[in-house]
Amino acid sequence: LVIGNGGREHALAWKIKKSPLLKKLFCIPGNPGTESIARNIAIDIKDFKKIKEFCLTQNISLVVVGPEVPLVDGITDFLEASGLHVFGPSGYAAQLEGSKTFSKNLMRDYNIPTAEYATFSDFNEAELYLKNIKKFPVVLKADGLAAGKGVLICQSLEEALSALKQIMSDKAFGDAGNTLLVEEFLDGDEVSVFVLCDGKNYCILPPSQDHKKIGEGDTGKNTGGMGAYAPAVIADKRLISIIEEKVIMPTLQAMTKKGHPYKGLLYVGIILVKGAPYVLEYNCRFGDPETQAVLPLVKSDIVPFLLDCAKGNLQNLNLEFEEKCALDVVLVSAGYPDSYEKGYPISGLNDLDNSVLCFHAGTVIKDGRTVTSGGRVLNLVALGDTFADCAKKVYKEIEKLKFTGMYFRRDIGYKVLSD
Ligand code: AMP
Ligand code: GLY
């Protein structure tokens, strides 16, 4: 059973579907993409009780949880209490994403490199602190989950005071902003590192790079992610081993010392400052859209790995990868990441060439037609020997797709394409 309904979950279902061990695949609630390879079940992902009943009735042998909200809300603990195997961290361990104060304090206590920070639960104290800051930009973050929107980079004191008001007084991110983090601004290239963990043992997946900004050349507003590529060449073998030693191992050890070993996917968001890795954030689940580029590079059957992690018994650490490149371009609705219209029919889906993968994100079937239902609508992914090959294939196929207001960045992978 895969839980979730985005592009990440379609990619997970697609990869799981390839496993010879698989008998039956379900998605809750899934999307039209997953419907073509699995059975979608219309249960609200907040309804843990119904999910549990479904799992027990259907004899589900593995639950893979896509999004962070149910994980932070303790779905793993809830299902495991009934003897189910769940790929995902406990509610306690998911605080690595669910509370920035939790994760920053852990990094400080275990000497894991990250930006300098201070935390505040009192507006006036935060204001006083900001007024004494000499160096801008500065980064303000809501402590809790804010659907990727709770980070504000402020170029001046004025901007910082206005962000403070937004987060702590106006409650722009609800209770997520009860506690505020003020962080030193770091400048550099970012890389996402996914780690499959069983609590102690782990496998590192090929590093990837997201494109968070809406506009070409990384301009404009932050989004959920406009595209990704893998492997991220800036994170070479040497850098990955530094990240392993300075970040991954101490993080897993820290969680074990706290009595809550980390099991599931640990997403380490790294920024490279003059070549040295600093942790920007942890996520407690696969990244979206990075997963859509990373999973096609996994050669091994992923199911035994997910299952062994869920059981806390990952013995085979030899996950194999394709010696290829992958590139994912996200097609979004006009207006995204602000308000956008939905319900527009998508044409061309049946004309796509087999050489590309199409993962659905914000789509639904209405009157027999696939129509848009979200900001991020589709992901087109190509594999190739070079990123240039991938980009050529993806952008050629995108020309076949149409919906009113369709927008995408034409420069996904530009950092590796111009080399
Ligand atoms: P987060 O949700 O913490 O990953 O933040 C979202 C994005 O904000 C990151 O991917 C970075 O691009 C940016 N960001 C977060 N923290 C910092 C920081 N300390 N310095 C510079 N950029 C940051
Ligand atoms: N791509 C960023 C995230 O999944 O949080």
**From first to last of its 419 residues, what are the pLDDT tens digits of the chain?**
999 999 999 999 999 999 999 999 999 999 999 999 999 999 999 999 999 999 999 999 999 999 999 999 999 999 999 999 999 999 999 999 999 999 999 999 999 999 999 999 999 999 999 999 989 999 999 888 888 778 889 999 999 999 999 998 889 888 888 889 999 999 999 999 999 999 999 999 999 999 999 999 999 988 989 999 999 999 999 999 999 999 999 999 999 999 999 999 999 999 999 999 999 999 999 999 999 999 999 999 999 999 999 999 999 889 999 999 999 999 999 999 999 999 999 999 999 999 999 999 999 999 999 999 999 999 999 999 999 999 999 999 999 999 999 999 999 999 999 75
pTM of the model: 0.95
Show the tokens assigned to 289. Answer: 């859209």
How far is ligand 1, taken at its centre, from the CA of residue 275, in Å? 17
Nearest ligand (C-alpha, residue 192)? 2
* H or E element at residue 343: none
- What Cα–Cα distance (Å) separates residue 138 from each residue in 131, 160, 233, 280? 12, 7, 28, 14
Neighbours of 155 (CB within 10 A): 11
**Residues 98 and 72 sit within 8 Å (Cβ to Cβ):** yes
- What Cα–Cα distance (Å) separates residue 98 from each residue in 6, 10, 194, 282? 20, 24, 17, 9
* Block residue for tokens 């035994």: 304
- What Cα–Cα distance (Å) separates residue 111 from each residue in 245, 258, 267, 373? 12, 15, 18, 43
How far is ligand 2, taken at its centre, from the CA of residue 379, in Å? 14
Establish whether residue 185 lines the binding site of ligand 1, counting it when its CB lies within 6 angstroms of any ligand atom.
Answer: yes
Q: Which of 267, 284, 328, 359 to mutate to test the pocket of ligand 2 (most atoms within 8 A of CB)?
A: 267
What pLDDT is recorded for position 169? 86
**Residues 347 and 403 sit within 8 Å (Cβ to Cβ):** yes
Establish whether residue 29 lines the binding site of ligand 1, counting it when its CB lies within 6 angstroms of any ligand atom.
Answer: no
Residue 184: Cβ-neighbour burial (10 angstroms; 0-12, 13-18, 19+): middle
Establish whether residue 268 lines the binding site of ligand 1, counting it when its CB lies within 6 angstroms of any ligand atom.
Answer: no
AA letter at 248? I
**Residues 403 and 346 sit within 8 Å (Cβ to Cβ):** yes
Residue 287: Cβ-neighbour burial (10 angstroms; 0-12, 13-18, 19+): buried
Rounded CA-CA distance 359/349 in Å is: 11
Total residue count of the chain as it appears in this document: 419
Establish whether residue 186 lines the binding site of ligand 1, counting it when its CB lies within 6 angstroms of any ligand atom.
Answer: yes
What pLDDT is recorded for position 149? 78
Residue 378, beta-bridge partner list? 331, 360
Helix (H, G, I), strand (E, B) or coil at 87: strand
- Residue among 147, 221, 216 at smallest CA distance from 414: 216
**Residues 143 and 100 sit within 8 Å (Cβ to Cβ):** yes
What pLDDT is recorded for position 221? 87
Strands, E, within 164-240: which ranges? 180-184, 189-198, 202-204, 209-210, 213-215, 219-222, 227-230
Ligand 2 atom closest to the Cα of residue 290 is 1
What pLDDT is recorded for position 277? 98
Residue 122: Cβ-neighbour burial (10 angstroms; 0-12, 13-18, 19+): exposed
Rounded CA-CA distance 38/22 in Å is: 11
Establish whether residue 145 lines the binding site of ligand 1, counting it when its CB lies within 6 angstroms of any ligand atom.
Answer: no
- Considering only CA atoms, which residue is closest to atom 3 of ligand 2? 287
Establish whether residue 148 lines the binding site of ligand 2, counting it when its CB lies within 6 angstroms of any ligand atom.
Answer: yes
> Side-chain half-sphere of 96: how many Cα atoms within 13 Å?
31
Establish whether residue 287 lines the binding site of ligand 2, counting it when its CB lies within 6 angstroms of any ligand atom.
Answer: yes
AA letter at 304? P
What pLDDT is recorded for position 174? 86
